[in-house]
Structure 1
Amino acid sequence: MISIVITYFNSSEFINRALYYAHLQKVVEKEIIVVDDGSDNNNKKILSQYADLIDLLITQKNKGQAAARNAGISKATGDFILNWDVDDYFEAEFSSEALKILEEKSNIKLVSSYALRTSNEISGELIKPLGGNYQNFLFENAALGSAMFRKLDWENAGGYDEKIKVGYEDWDFYLRLLYPKGEAFIIPEQLFTYHRHPESTTSLILRERSALIKRKYIYKKNETIYQQHYPELIDDVFYRLEREEQERYKNLERIEYKIGYYILNPLRKLKKHFTYFRKGLTSKVVVK
């Protein structure tokens, strides 16, 4: 049996679709678990209207994505876990295909697929994760954040790290899940749809700064793994430093351009008017 774990936080506009696709999954036995990670009263009320479609509803104070997933998986009765966020969904055939792969190959620890990243469910960007062994996950997540894996492997890997509140918890978990000899299998079909949320420039900047802190945390906590790949780690660190330096230079150029424009442009206009004025005076001079 598979346990479908859906995390929910103030996402009432997506719950109907998520549960619809959860029930569509083509497997003989499944249970649907929804973890409400501290939604407000209005979103809790809307979620309660779908009680008949949920086998187990877990409600907790807001603790973050990692904690919500761990809470759902710990209560799961299935041997296989399929987790996804409430605003995303898998196509009906994903579960049966992923389950077959996991049952046939013990070295496969994780199954995901190609994905459509979209804001309207019609058009968007086709994402093709790399998958493979843990080395492909050393510096980036090479699979989707939503995937199927064995509950036993989740336990052996220590679950999701709840200290990582938002972002990178999937990457960190997969790295530990695959080390040392596991594989992540990517089904070469678009069987997942990822909802893209609009983000402001400020939020992107703040996220980027937070990302560096989380990356450092993951490198240090998985010291045993990264010690074996010290040269690659150094290359990655300096690559990010160089990229940051390039971005800083680009921003500086933009700032200097704006300063130059707003300061020099009025001076140019003043010079232009002065030139016209001087020409006007010259034209009125009578030479005898």
Structure 2
Amino acid sequence: MTNVSVIIPTYNRRELIQEALNSVLAQSFRDYEVIVIDDGSDDSTGEMIKDKFNEKVHYSWQVNQGESVARNKGIELAKGEYIAFLDSDDRWLPKKLDKQVRVLDENPDIGVVFCQAWSINEEGNLLDSRVIGNDLRVNEITFENLVLHNQISGSPSSSMIRQVILEKIGGFDPQIRYGEDWDLWLRIHSLSKFGFISEPLVQLRRHQDTQCYFPSIEGNAHRLEDHLVILEKAFANWQGSLSRGLQEKAFAYQYAQAFLAEESVQNTRNAKKYLQKTVSLYPNILYDVDDFGQLIVDNGAILVQVTQPWDYDAAIEYVVKVFDDLTLVGISNKHFESVVWGKLYAMLGFLAAKSGEDIIARNYLISAIRYDLGWLRNRGVLSIVSQSLIGQNPVKQMRQ
């Protein structure tokens, strides 16, 4: 039996899938097969694969039905004991398969193993130095945490799963378009343990398109609908005990994400509708600084980075609007607002420092400290501020 089946669903990515395939062929672990499921491409993807990778890849074309159906078709064709998914615009580092196979071989109670990842842009260059999954702790992947948000923030490309587990749960749900991986992790969680490798072994491509992060009005509604279905399934199938108010909080967070997404595209009417639903389910949401507050800041960061050059004011204007709408529905929390503004200005400061805009970075970081003195304990903040005040580039200082 082949040890690993690599499954790559694709649709009209003739150029990018070549990078994905080359990253598979460069793996140090050699006992694998590669299955490409072409979900109806019309850009000559198939011809390119047959020309350049014919003997190394099992290629199958189907009428366009979506990624979940394509992945399930790959599972049906797979002969491997382990399944590794790779999105056709992502890339693996050479030790990815080797290290994940080792975890599954040595731990029969683990059904799926993940790894950390880097973000790359459309040209394949590293986006920033932050590692995706850097704060993930495998013992914190609990049902209660998973229903609140998808902790596995690396897409299926960072995973390796036992074939027998996928057979038991029936693969991906073809009815779910948004969050199909989240749904899969929730179903796997009821059957086996999760494993995690604290090393980035995957490069996830982020496209410079706002729609990738904030769907259209129609797309946002579909995403919310799918996420609510995922939660309904998860709670209906869960056999364990639940903490008080967990269901209401989990559903509230989905409406909160829909609210913030609508704010991002300035659809005030829908934003307020989703916000009212959020507050009715979870009136104390402004006491969740770590979750809801961070979500606000993350959305602000995206608004900055989808513009060229970066528009820092977009994030500030966004957060002002969010707090205005929160006030309109009758909820406010000064501590929450201070912490969020501190997080936002710190984020802007780090982004500006990365771009070499030292004075702008310093001013944003000083604002972060004014809102939340806790940033005085952050070494990165202190380094950037102090070096800019004495007029020396911190990178140059470190080299000396």
TM superposition score normalised by structure 1? 0.78
Q: 1:239 to 1:61 in 2, by over 3 A?
A: closer
Q: Does the 8 Å contact 1:37/1:62 carry over to 2?
A: yes
What is the percent sequence identity of the aligned residues? 26
How far 1:138 moved relative to its partner?
Answer: 1.9
Structure having the larger proportion of residues in helix: 2
Distance 1:37 1:95 in 2: 25
How far 1:134 moved relative to its partner?
Answer: 4.4
Query: Which SS does the other structure have where 1:63 is aligned?
Result: coil
1:244-274 C-alpha deviation (Å, 9 max, x unpaired): 66754627969xxxxxxxxxxxxxxxxxxxx
**Long gaps (5+) in structure 2:** 264-270, 273-320, 326-400
Work out which of the residue numbers 148, 153, 157 in structure 2 matches 1:139: 148
Q: Does the 8 Å contact 1:134/1:183 carry over to 2?
A: no
The reply on whether 1:175 has 2:217 as its aligned counterpart is no
Q: Does the 8 Å contact 2:46/2:59 carry over to 1?
A: no
How far 1:204 moved relative to its partner?
Answer: 5.0
Greater RCO (CA < 8 Å, at least 6 residues apart): 1
The reply on whether 1:197 has 2:207 as its aligned counterpart is yes
Q: 1:253 to 1:142 in 2, by over 3 A?
A: closer
Aligned equivalent of 1:280: none
How far 1:89 moved relative to its partner?
Answer: 1.4
Work out which of the residue numbers 138, 158, 175 in structure 2 matches 1:163: 175
Q: 1:50 to 1:141 in 2, by over 3 A?
A: farther
Aligned equivalent of 2:237: 224
Q: Which moved more, 1:237-246 or 1:49-58?
A: 237-246
Distance 1:32 1:244 in 2: 37
Q: 1:243 to 1:112 in 2, by over 3 A?
A: closer
The reply on whether 1:85 has 2:96 as its aligned counterpart is no
The reply on whether 1:122 has 2:126 as its aligned counterpart is yes
- Which amino acid counterpart does residue 178 of structure 1 have in structure 2? H
Aligned equivalent of 1:236: 250
Aligned equivalent of 2:5: 3
Distance 2:86 2:23 in 1: 11
How far 1:184 moved relative to its partner?
Answer: 2.1
Query: Which SS does the other structure have where 2:34 is aligned?
Result: strand
Root-mean-square deviation over aligned CA pairs: 2.6
Distance 1:157 1:242 in 2: 29
Distance 2:102 2:72 in 1: 24
Q: 1:173 to 1:56 in 2, by over 3 A?
A: same
Q: 1:205 to 1:107 in 2, by over 3 A?
A: farther
Distance 2:174 2:166 in 1: 14
Q: Does the 8 Å contact 1:89/1:194 carry over to 2?
A: yes
* Bigger Rg, structure 1 or 2: 1
Q: 1:205 to 1:114 in 2, by over 3 A?
A: farther
- Which amino acid counterpart does residue 25 of structure 1 have in structure 2? Q
- Which amino acid counterpart does residue 183 of structure 2 have in structure 1? D
Distance 2:59 2:44 in 1: 16
Aligned equivalent of 1:32: 34
Distance 1:226 1:245 in 2: 31
Work out which of the residue numbers 171, 180, 197 in structure 2 matches 1:187: 197
How far 1:203 moved relative to its partner?
Answer: 3.3
Distance 1:84 1:25 in 2: 13
The reply on whether 1:105 has 2:99 as its aligned counterpart is no
How far 1:31 moved relative to its partner?
Answer: 0.7
Aligned equivalent of 2:371: none
Distance 2:259 2:127 in 1: 34
Equivalenced residues, count: 252
Q: Which moved more, 1:27-36 or 1:217-226?
A: 217-226
How far 1:105 moved relative to its partner?
Answer: 1.1
Q: 1:93 to 1:37 in 2, by over 3 A?
A: same
